[in-house]
Amino acid sequence: MAGQVAVGSRSGLRSALPLLLPAYLWLTVAIFLPLSAMVFFSFMTDLPLSGKAWSFTLDNYMTFFSQGLYPTLLLASLRLGLEVTLWCVVIGYPAAYVLAKVLKGRSREAIFLLVILPFWSNGLVRIFSWAMVLREGGILDTALNAALPFEINIDLMYSYPAVIIGLVHSYVPYMVLTCYLTLQAIDDSLIEAGRSLGASRLQMLKRVIVPLAMPGLVAGAALIFVPVVGSFMEPRILGGRTGTFYGTIIEDQFVAVFNWPLGAALSFILLAVVLVMLALASPVLKRAA
């Protein structure tokens, strides 16, 4: 079947060209040009804008390797990406399953809306609402103290868990959406066939549903992992002093220190690392999918 699709798309390429043109134009203008400029900057000693003298250099890239701080932060960010992706799987996959296979009609639409809602709300609003919930004397603290007979002190604000919570909340809709799409495409009669053969629900999940939904899981993971590794808003606002990650360091270079060349170089190192990781993972993922 894959073969047929490939043949079909090749013969249709010529006629599809006019349709693709706007997209390619947009990609060129919006992504390729600025990105090229950034590549250029990353090899310069200073920005050419201020009239100061500048020259080409590899120093920006060398900085990453000469100071232990950057690799350490990159590792911390990769770990953050991994953890957030994992939580998104743990939360998003079952939610997608329930949406696709358990709920029907009205209730499905309602829950779907609830899942997608964070998607549509402004990122900053979302993060500051979490700040109100998580801080000492905040909503979570007050509610728990009102409900529990003993005194507890919940202050998750400015901590690693707060960053995780904020990021998972922001990114879990991706996982729900991609998994929902693949799960929904699984014919119910497959599940019935499995049950008629004596498979328990867990066995069905393991041997039929998860393998068939793997493309959605992989797509969701990629959509989440990559931006989370470079994220800076959630770590900064919810993490406070503990929220220093690779993404926040890059942001600093652009908005605080005004060392654009270093910021650009750090970005491209991140991009390279992520690409290498995806390339290494792709044979495994392809087999799973």
Interacting residues toward other proteins by CB under 8 A: 1, 187, 189-190, 192-200, 203, 207-208, 211-212
Q: DSSP class of residue 136?
A: T
Least distance in angstroms from the C-beta of 190 to other proteins: 5
Least distance in angstroms from the C-beta of 286 to other proteins: 13
Q: Which is nearer to other proteins, 190 or 255 (CB)?
A: 190
Least distance in angstroms from the C-beta of 208 to other proteins: 6
Question: Letter for the amino acid at 220?
Answer: G
CA 222, 224, 228, 230 dihedral sign is: positive
Q: DSSP class of residue 30?
A: I
Q: Which is nearer to other proteins, 1 or 23 (CB)?
A: 1
Q: Which is nearer to other proteins, 122 or 196 (CB)?
A: 196
Q: Which is nearer to other proteins, 149 or 198 (CB)?
A: 198
Residues 138, 139, 145, 151: what is their CA dihedral angle, to the nearest 10 degrees? -20
- Nearest CA to 277 out of 130, 82, 142 is that of 82
Least distance in angstroms from the C-beta of 267 to other proteins: 38
Residue 85 CB contacts under 8 Å (≥ 6 apart), including other chains: 221, 224, 225, 228
**139 token code pair:** 């909503």
What's the CA gap between 7 and 183, in Å, rounded?
27
Q: Which is nearer to other proteins, 15 or 189 (CB)?
A: 189
Return phi, psi of residue 56, to 5°: -80, 145
Q: Which is nearer to other proteins, 35 or 205 (CB)?
A: 205
What's the CA gap between 177 and 186, in Å, rounded?
15
Least distance in angstroms from the C-beta of 209 to other proteins: 10
Least distance in angstroms from the C-beta of 237 to other proteins: 43
